[in-house]
């Protein structure tokens, strides 16, 4: 199969190839292409910064700063790494550095010293059904989900955002946050269980009430 | 060895996240696979968790504030302009010319400048035109900050990135070469004096870098 055919039949590969090409060109000095390179990741970069800083203005500033640092360091990027992961890790470093500098999270820091026993018992919601992704078209649903996430303690929220929203793997999440793989797994379990319970409770409060479920069925 | 009889709901819930990650050993996985169809509670946790992961991993959950992309593009453009491509071609020929000029009598050239403040006072001009948020590079052992990619960064393996404002606060002074367009010194803007200016800058950088 020719290269053109491979690109035609494998759009993901085509995107990756285009990205590699953009990286190489920026590394050679075509600076004006940098925004094009990072634009597909701007949501993820912002979400990572927001998960750590919890303030929209700070998160935006940290996201911009992280992008600039990525730009300045672009020649240090090695092709064997995933560009998105590299970018997210720079963002997390930037956000963590700011948080340490501002020391605004004394209470949460105390919370982090609590032991990580995962003795959380999920609530009993016996019936379940898949919530269709179309529900995310509605802003109020997205807002409810975001609010539920925001109620999680920092250590659970950060791991959940990096693994399940940013799609870093367990190892990358551990490295990005400077914690052990075992801690990532424990926190991830807890975060997922708590969110499952929050969303199940939300179901009972009618968050998804306009969704086309048959009467009597619950999505849990 | 795990069998489905020895597996209680508590254990299943402890492992449910690892199960979704594919991080449980085959025996435990098999036992859990047997358990779920027989236990409404555990299967509701499993499916609820799948809902959570699927919904939150959707790109629509990552919204950016209005105007985010435009502001980001603007800020990047400001930085990119500073590190404009002009430098890559400029530096290519300037380095040997500058070195030659330096060896041919840099001191005489420097002394012949129409406006020739002593090096220290030149350094003392922090370059008011430098955007405070601009990212610059400093290295240990040197007193000068640079635009990334400047050919006169010494000791590159120790480099650190910070904003121009932070660098100045830490006592670093702008590199006369790569920060040239921001400096209100005799060096700036006089194309005719480019070679002399470069020679002087190099001498200065070498002196500082050798500290």
How would residue B208 be classed by pLDDT, with cut points 50, 70 and 90? very low
Quick check: A195 and B16 CB within 8 A? no
Q: Would you say A105 and A99 are in contact if contact means Cβ atoms under 8 Å apart?
A: yes
B118 and B166 inside one domain: yes
The tally of domains found in chain A comes to: 2
- The residue among B125 and A150 whose pLDDT is bigger is A150
Residues A15 and A93 in one domain: yes
The string of pLDDT tens digits covering residues B21-63 is 999 999 999 999 999 999 988 999 999 999 999 999 998 999 8
Residue A120: inside a domain: no
Show residues of chain A in contact with B63, CB under 8 Å: 43, 142
How many angstroms separate the most distant Cα atoms in chain A?
A: 61
Using an 8 Å Cβ cutoff, are B151 and B95 in contact? yes
Residue A158 lies in a domain: yes
Query: What distances in angstroms separate CA B69 from CA A36, A105, A162, B85, one per listed residue?
Result: 11, 29, 22, 23
Which candidate from A31, A39, A128 shows the least CB-CB separation from B44? A128
CATH of the domain at A188: 1.10.10.10
Of B46, B61, B76, the residue that ends a domain is: B61
In a mutagenesis test of the A interface, which of B13, B55, B59, B161 is the best target, namely the one with the most A β-carbons within 10 Å? B55
Closest CA to A187 of A151, A157, A146, A164: A157
Which residues constitute the domain of residue B33? 4-61
Q: What is the pLDDT of residue A6?
A: 59
Look at residue A217 and tell me if it is in a domain.
no
The band of A8, judged by pLDDT with boundaries at 50, 70 and 90, is low
Mean pLDDT of chain A: 84
Single out the residue in A56, A90, A105 at which a domain terminates.
A105
What's the mean pLDDT when you consider all of chain B?
A: 70
pLDDT band, residue B107 (cuts 50/70/90): very low
Q: Is residue B199, in this structure, part of any structural domain at all? A: yes
Cα angle B52, B37, B53 (rounded to 5 degrees) comes to 10
Residue A105 predicted with pLDDT over 70: no
Nearest to B72 among A42, A75, A124 (CB): A42
Domain that holds residue A92: 3-105
Q: What value of ipTM does the predicted structure carry?
A: 0.83
pLDDT at A210: 59
| Minimum-distance CB partner of B68 among A60, A192, A219 | A60
User: Residue A152: is its pLDDT beyond 90?
Assistant: yes
B71: in domain? no
Alpha-carbon distance values, B204 to A132, B91, B152, B193 (Å): 66, 17, 10, 16
Domain contains A110: no
Is the minimum CB–CB distance between A170 and chain B shorter than 8 Å?
yes
The answer to the question of residue B142 being in a domain is yes
Q: What is the pLDDT of residues B64-75, one digit of tens each?
A: 999 999 999 999
In this predicted structure, what is the pLDDT of residue A134? 85
pTM value? 0.64
**Does A53 map to a domain?**
yes
Residue A220 maps to a domain: no
Is B74 within a domain? no
Locate the chain A residue with the closest alpha carbon to B84.
A31
**What's the whole-number mean pLDDT along residues B191-209?**
39
- B78 lies in some domain: no
User: Both A99 and A186 in a single domain?
Assistant: no
A200 touches chain B (CB under 8 A): yes
Give backbone dihedrals phi and psi of B173, rounded to 5 degrees, phi first: -120, 155
CB contact under 8 A, A137 and B60: yes
Cα-only R_g, chain A? 20
**Do B183 and B92 share a structural domain?**
yes
pLDDT digits (tens, 9 = 90+) for A177-209: 999 999 999 999 999 999 999 988 887 777 776
Q: Is A149 exposed, middle or buried (0-12, 13-18, 19+ CB in 10 A)?
A: buried
Q: Nearest-5° angle of CA A199, CA A85, CA A186? A: 45
Domain count, chain B: 2
């Amino acid at each position: 199969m020719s290269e053109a055919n491979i690109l035609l039949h494998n759009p993901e590969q085509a995107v990756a190839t285009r990205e590699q090409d953009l990286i190489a060109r920026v590394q050679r000095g075509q600076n004006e292409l940098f925004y094009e390179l990072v634009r597909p990741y701007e949501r993820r970069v912002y979400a990572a910064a927001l998960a750590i800083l919890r303030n929209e203005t700070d998160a935006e500033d940290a996201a911009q700063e992280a992008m600039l640092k990525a730009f300045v360091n672009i020649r240090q990027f090695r092709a064997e790494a995933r560009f998105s992961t590299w970018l997210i890790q720079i963002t997390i470093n930037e956000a963590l550095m700011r948080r340490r500098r501002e020391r605004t999270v004394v209470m949460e820091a105390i919370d982090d010293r609590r032991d990580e026993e995962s003795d959380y018992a999920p609530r009993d919601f016996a019936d379940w059904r898949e919530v269709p992704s179309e529900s995310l078209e509605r802003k109020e649903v997205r807002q409810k989900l975001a609010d539920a996430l925001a109620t999680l303690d920092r250590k659970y929220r950060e791991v959940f955002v990096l693994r399940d929203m940013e799609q870093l793997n367990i190892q990358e999440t551990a490295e990005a946050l400077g914690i052990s793989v075992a801690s990532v797994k424990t926190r991830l379990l807890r975060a997922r269980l708590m969110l499952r319970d929050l969303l199940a409770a939300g179901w009972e409060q009618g968050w998804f009430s306009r969704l086309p479920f048959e009467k009597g069925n619950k999505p849990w | 060895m795990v069998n489905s009889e020895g597996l209680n709901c508590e254990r299943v819930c402890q492992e449910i996240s690892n199960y979704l990650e594919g991080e449980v050993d085959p025996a435990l996985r098999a036992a859990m696979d047997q358990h779920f169809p027989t236990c409404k509670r555990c299967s509701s946790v499993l499916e609820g968790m799948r809902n959570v992961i699927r919904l939150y991993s959707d790109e629509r959950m990552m919204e950016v504030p209005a105007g985010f992309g435009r502001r980001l593009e603007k800020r990047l453009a400001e930085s990119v302009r500073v590190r404009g491509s002009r430098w890559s071609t400029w530096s290519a020929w300037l380095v040997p010319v500058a070195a030659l000029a330096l060896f041919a009598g840099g001191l005489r050239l420097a002394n012949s400048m129409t406006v020739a403040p002593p090096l220290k006072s030149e350094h003392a001009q922090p370059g008011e035109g430098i955007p405070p948020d601009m990212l610059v590079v400093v290295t240990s052992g040197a007193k000068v900050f640079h635009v990334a990619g400047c050919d006169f960064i010494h000791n590159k393996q120790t480099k650190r990135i910070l904003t121009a404002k932070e660098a100045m606060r830490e006592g670093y002074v702008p590199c006369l070469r790569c920060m040239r367009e921001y400096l209100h010194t005799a060096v700036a803007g006089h194309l005719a004096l480019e070679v002399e200016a470069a020679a002087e800058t190099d001498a200065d950088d070498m002196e500082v870098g050798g500290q």
